[in-house]
Amino acid sequence: MPVSVPTTPYLDPAVSRYPPSNRVLRLTVLGAGAWGSALAGLARLNGHTVQVWSRRGDLELAEAIAESDVILSAISMKGVASVVQQLHQLGIPSESILVTATKGLDPQTTQTPSQLLSQTFPTHAVAVLSGPNLSQEIEHGLPAATVLASTDRSAALRVQRLLASDQFRVYTSADPLGAELGGALKNVVAIAVGVCDGLSLGTNAKSALITRALPEVIRIGMRLGAAEVETFYGLSGLGDMLATCSSRLSRNYRVGYGLAQGKSLPQILAELGSTAEGVNTAHVLMEIADREGMAAPISREVERLLQGQITPKQAVEALMERDLKPEAGDS
């Protein structure tokens, strides 16, 4: 497969506002959940100054961001648009780098978090953090790797230095939208894989499902503006999909598994006690697919299942009974 040319190449670091520096950075993490806390811990281990803001905490948002070099959002998708507007009203330091670590799609605009940030703060550097990163493993000190993607290379390098360590390897990329879409769309796939395991369909079926899901994610991602196909074969695409589809630490996997066991979606979400982003992403993705005329057979069956229109067994049957066709194709 030929290598595609990025539509948003790295900006020249020589003219960037973020020249290389070894000074201590000031990081504000928005979101005190497991993921935000894990990322805050990584930055603290590197000796940087960290503040964590939560909507339920005592720290005012204006105070939290007042002198931040980096503002990193790790809040759930449902709160992103509101927080972005709050940041806009307050005003943020002109040199602050904005980083999103949220994997999802906004239900009102169908945009990704980085698109919401870039639209609201067009003069700021925006970066995406995405990869096979189960927060519980990171908090336990287990090794992991991720991608920090931005069109401003020097901003990416600055945030890379903020978080990278022997425990947490951070790679850079110039394809933020591709990295972001890979992380968001794979959550829908994880629900499907959870169903597969919950029905005890075996390793053959699960392997086939993941393998067929990857080109579906790539087709959608490239149609929605990702710069490089190769992004989806990296850590933020295939890597993240493998982690989320193979671990019971994954909330989205547990949603699918629970549905296959006969539990209702509200019951499963109550038991999780935290957000499974794939549920909202499936709804928004089908809105986009219908609008754009995109084929998304696996994601569509997941959406029908989440809506209670079909049973887990019927979802599997619908996929297995589709017309025979060559492996390489559009759907």
Helix (H) or strand (E) holding 206: helix 203-223
- Which three-class secondary structure state does DSSP give residue 247? coil
237 labeled binding residue: no
Residue among 186, 263, 313, 325 flagged as catalytic = 186
258 labeled binding residue: no
17 labeled binding residue: no
133 labeled binding residue: no
Q: What are phi and psi of 113, to 5 degrees?
A: -55, -40
Strands 70-73 and 97-100: parallel
36 labeled binding residue: yes
236 labeled binding residue: no
CB 30 within 8 A of CB 59: no
Query: b or e along 219-248 (b: 16 or more beta carbons within 10 Å of the residue's beta carbon)?
Result: bbbbebebbbbbbbebbbbbbbbebbbbee
- 186 part of the active site: yes
219 labeled binding residue: no
d(CA 210, CA 43): 33
228 labeled binding residue: no
202 labeled binding residue: no
Residues at the binding site are: 31-36, 55-56, 103, 131, 135, 186, 240, 250-252, 277
Residues at the binding site for sn-glycerol 3-phosphate are: 103, 131, 186, 240, 250-252
Catalytically active residues are: 186
Residues at the binding site for substrate are: 103, 251-252
Residues at the binding site for NAD(+) are: 31-36, 251
